Chains A and B, each alone.
Chain A
Amino acid sequence: MTALQERPATPVSKEEQPYVDTAPRRRTGLWLGVIAAVWVLGWLLLRGHNTLALAFQDTTGFHTWLNGIRDSVQLAASRGNWFFNGVIGTVTDALNSAITALQHLLSLPAPPRPVPQVGWLGVVALLAWVGLAVAGWKSSVMVALTLLAFGFFGYWQDGIDTLIITSVAVLICVVIGLPVGIAMARRRSVSAATTPVLDVLQTMPSFAYLTPLALIFGIGPAAAVVVTVIYSVPPLVRITEHGIRSVPTGAVEAAESLGVTRGQLLRRVQLPMARSTIVVGVNQCTMAAVSMATIAVLINGPGLGKPVQAALQSLDVGTAAVAGLALVLTAIMLDRTTTAASERSGRQAHPGRLSTRNRRWVILGALVPVAAAIYLSRLYLGLATFPTSVNVGPRLSSGISSFTDSFVNVVDTATNAFKNLVSYAFLNPLQSLLAETPWWLMAAVLIALAYVLGGWRPAASTVVCEAVILATGLWHDTMITLTMTIVATVLVMVVAVALGVWMGRRRRVDSVIRPVLDAFQTIPPFVYLVPALALFASSRFTAIIAAMAYATPIATKLVADGIRGVSPTTVEAAESAGVTTRQMISKVQIPMSREALVLATNQGLLYVLSMVVIGGLVGAGSLGYIVVSGFSQSQLFGKGLAAGIAITALGVMIDRIMRYSAARYGRG
């Protein structure tokens, strides 16, 4: 609400800053034309030569070298190496037994009892109390409802397992991430050394490190927690660093002038003042952990990912939808609870109505019914295992299945025709242009584009990334993946601009669409694969649809915010000049929110790229499929890892080109 009033403070209209445009004329258009002409000409003459295509089962020396490393690691582990059996073995055992203990406490039968130590009623009461203690009573209600939903859907154990994996992972993230973030905020050198690592961790597809980690930590809960931590710790570290950095210098200087030590400064000033930002970091970390815990079922992690994965295998839309709904509820519940916790910790700096002491009494008092619930749930079987008589999951899922079946039967000819249209008119020609041009020409074209659009810096990054891709031996597949990424991003932007302009111009539309976008952002991507498969069969287009579902919300929100940020004075001036709605959009609002559009495109592209591997599961082929196969075929292990590296290099390259050209042209 307040965004609208704050926005106009930043001057965006050209009239207010007439002196800006001093950069030399670049003739970008001319150069782009020249590059395109050379490219198309080269493609026409040399199509299919030097494409570096590698058949699916073929491997290069680099891939077999990686296989060799894997084999020696395994051999060392099987012979009782001090590192793998001593250090890693201890960590694995500790994690596994901690998680098993939690499962016996909350979700799995704890022998000799036929049921967990605490039955469902006790778990609901206990976790609702945790919600009350950290975030307030609204969150507490939300926690209770989500847990009851697990039971009603018939996923009680899987749901609780997801919560266990997520919370153990988040706990480890906090223990590791906070000190690292603090160290980064206090020393530039630490920050400079850590940032590239975080960059790689965030661009590297998680599938690429699933197998190597399963190799080291064994399959099961321990490995699931480790991959979840690796995936979700970067945002926490980054936000912690940012939070401590943004403590006002005035406060820090005042404290320093009082002669506090560095430790006191941290504990008494920086940490308390950065507290609510750090809790936002925990929130981001938790959301990432939930979505990764879903993928970790592939290495036999417990949780709600199991039914989703099984449904994907048997194309059971209903089961996927019900288990997915449970996941969405979990995500929303965790999001709201951590957000409320962050708001509360912000408020605690300025005491509110209910004094802290009173609150403490309320929370302590609430423990009495919790204890009673736990006691009862240990006594009665019906309060220990969730009654199956109220299980509506199967009925719900078979209803959804039969509805989708009939729906798909009606529309599948139409959706297939649409798929064919996009594939033949758009995807195939572009793929031919990118992947069937000789590699040296294609590499030169990309470097030239990077130079013309962004200058020598992105051009240098492009050279390095291309060298990495060539070294992985997967140039041809990378170009196919690049094609799909471009097509998906274009489609994302078409939808995002259409929706975003509509939302930006009308507040009522915004208030209807925004919650839908929020919901889509919390759905773990696995969930919408099944309906996408049912509609479009397995194909590259299905992968593109899945990527769109993932990337469109963020891009749309950015566009909407950009349109709304256009100075109202400019809009009024244009209105008084009597422009039509169409002119207003195309001549005023879109050009003036160019910066937001560039940002939206960049984010959309990165989100699309992060779906490449998921796309490999539904027929995308190329890099994504190689990563997935490397996960499941012994002799393709090295090739899968190499494909993961290629995706990372591709992501860094595109990001650098976009970022520098945005810096050059974004401000218009």
Chain B
Amino acid sequence: MKGRTLKALGARTRRLGLATVAATAALVLAACGGGNIHNSNTSAAGGKSCGNLNIAVNPWVGYVVNAHLVGQVAQTKLGCTVSYQDVKEEVGWQGMANGTIDTVLENWGHPELVKKYITQQHVVQDVGLTGSDGIIGWYVPPWMAKKYPDITNWKSLNKYASLFKTSESGGKGQLLDGDPSYVTNDEALVKNLHLNYKVVVGGSEAALIQSFRTAEKNHKALLAYFYQPQWFFSEMKLVKVDLPPYTPGCDANAAKVACDYPPYKLNKVISKKFADSGSPAVKLIKGFKISNSDQNLVATDIAQKKMDPDVAAKKWIDANPDKVKAWLQ
């Protein structure tokens, strides 16, 4: 009995072995048409060699657009070896401090990181605005704004709190938040504006988008943290809830915040080490500019049409040669 099982097992493995050999042989045959390998010419079109460019990639699609636009240009026009490092915002700054990351291409404020790494340690430099404006706020799906027109004013939020109740919100209304790394004052806002809501964590950009889609499809209530520039607005016109207007300094004390998020002027930062390296990519990053609508265009290609980020970036670069030219001057 035992002998027979072993034999059967042997036969099976032998078949597997044959399959492997066959698969490999087929691949070899398919692959041999590929031709010989020649060493690549390192000094590409750019002339002066660029070396490595390490770009941080933060977890939202808009950022991915900036990263790959700069990466594509650096690779094709300057001959850089580009590598993309998937990190959260804080880790990206940390990486610039210890030299593993060269640049963050869409920075949302972060006064505490600016103070620490730019003002105190001098390891990071601000290299100007990206040209897109960031808006953070609370949004509801379109059907809600239509049915409850006054919901866009924060003062009526308490009236509708019971609509937003879920199993996670402990009897109060639910305010859904995003990735744990995002800039948020939501807990303080709920407390200081005396709203009968509880902040519930969603976990990611995708979780927020999924929730908005389900809410619109099933006409379910949803109040969530969201932001622009954001490709999803081309699919669904979310409506922003107005909080008490922002005045400079009203968010100085994080625990006492009772006003809307400030309008963000998004900027680019690079590490000191990279700035001093003389790489031609430094100039490219300084010159890089992108408008909200251009970023959304590429982001829609990536997120909705599932295009590879590099392919989507190349498509936009080919269509906008003069804008790209301006970055390099």
> A-side interface residues toward B, CB under 8 Å?
55-58, 71, 74-75, 77-78, 111-115, 121, 124, 137-138, 141-142, 144-145, 148, 151, 211, 214-215, 218-220, 297-300, 306, 309-310, 312-316, 376, 378-384, 387, 389-390, 398, 412, 419-420, 423-424, 427-428, 533, 537-541, 616-619, 621, 625, 628-629, 631-635
Contacts and interface: CB of A to CB of B under 8 A. Distances in A.
A483 to B, nearest CB: 13
A631 B201 CA distance: 16
Interface in B288-311: 303, 306
Interface centre among B24, B36, B93, B166, by most A CB within 10 Å?
B24
Given A111-B42, A144-B20, A219-B91, A58 B86 contact: no
A540 to B, nearest CB: 7
B40 A633 contact: no
B237 interface: no
B202 A619 contact: yes
Contact of A538 (B42, B203, B254): B203
Contact of B31 (A380, A537, A633): A380
Nearest to A92: B98
B99 interface: yes
Contacts of A541: 167
B85 interface: yes
Nearest to B35: A381
Nearest to A114: B40
Interface string B11-25: 001001101100110
Contact of A74 (B88, B97, B191): B97
Contact of A148 (B23, B203, B211, B255): B23
A312 B37 contact: no
A424 B165 CA distance: 12
B82 to A, nearest CB: 12
Contacts of B88: 298, 631-632
Interface in B89-127: 89-91, 93-95, 97-101, 110, 112-113, 116, 121, 123
Contacts of B36: 379-381
Nearest 3 CB-CB pairings of A with B? A382-B34, A382-B31, A632-B181
A381 B34 contact: yes
Contact of A314 (B97, B191, B214, B303): B303
Contacts of B37: 113-115, 378-381, 384
A423 B167 contact: yes
B40 A423 contact: no
Given A315-B207, A387-B30, A625-B180, A56 B202 contact: no
A56 B187 CA distance: 7
B30 A382 contact: yes
Nearest to A84: B98
B113 A634 contact: yes
A381 to B, nearest CB: 4
B167 A419 contact: yes
15 contacts: A55-B191, A121-B27, A137-B17, A218-B100, A219-B85, A220-B100, A306-B86, A312-B204, A314-B205, A380-B36, A382-B32, A537-B214, A538-B201, A538-B202, A632-B89
A310 B59 CA distance: 9
B34 to A, nearest CB: 3
B135 interface: no
A299 B91 contact: yes
A408 B17 CA distance: 39
A658 B167 CA distance: 31
Contacts of B94: 214-215, 219
B4 to A, nearest CB: 15
A498 to B, nearest CB: 25
B65 to A, nearest CB: 14
Contact of B30 (A389, A538, A540, A632): A389
Nearest to B34: A382
A423 B200 CA distance: 15
A617 B203 CA distance: 6
A313 B123 contact: no
A254 to B, nearest CB: 34
Given A145-B19, A387-B31, 19 more contacts: A57-B188, A115-B37, A121-B28, A215-B94, A218-B98, A219-B91, A300-B100, A314-B205, A315-B206, A379-B36, A380-B32, A380-B34, A382-B32, A420-B167, A423-B168, A427-B167, A538-B203, A619-B202, A633-B180
A619 B31 contact: no
B201 A141 contact: no
A257 B167 CA distance: 71
Given A300-B87, A315-B210, A621 B23 contact: no
Given A300-B95, A539-B167, A634-B112, A124 B24 contact: yes
A375 to B, nearest CB: 12
Contacts of A75: 121
Interface centre among A75, A315, A619, A632, by most B CB within 10 Å?
A632
Contacts of A628: 180
Interface in B48-83: 59, 61, 81
Contact of A618 (B38, B166, B203): B203
Contacts of A428: 167, 170
Nearest to B9: A138
A315 B86 contact: no
B47 interface: no
Contacts of B95: 218-219, 300
A390 B187 CA distance: 50
B291 to A, nearest CB: 24
B42 A633 contact: no
A278 to B, nearest CB: 27
B329 interface: no
B199 interface: yes
B320 interface: no
A57 B123 CA distance: 27
Contacts of A314: 61, 204-206, 303
B3 interface: no
A215 B116 CA distance: 14
B180 A632 contact: yes
A619 B180 contact: no
A629 B30 contact: no
A373 to B, nearest CB: 9
Nearest to A137: B17
A389 B33 CA distance: 12
Interface in B169-185: 170, 179-181, 185
A360 to B, nearest CB: 21
Contacts of A112: 39-40, 42
A341 to B, nearest CB: 17
Contact of B91 (A58, A141, A214): A214
Contacts of A141: 13, 16-17, 20
A90 B38 CA distance: 35
B81 A111 contact: yes
A384 B93 CA distance: 36
A634 B201 contact: no
Contact of B203 (A380, A423, A427, A619): A619
A428 B42 CA distance: 62
A313 B167 contact: no
B87 A538 contact: no
Given A78-B97, A619-B202, A390 B30 contact: yes
A634 B24 contact: no
Contacts of A71: 116
Contacts of B168: 423, 539-540, 619, 621
A538 B207 CA distance: 7
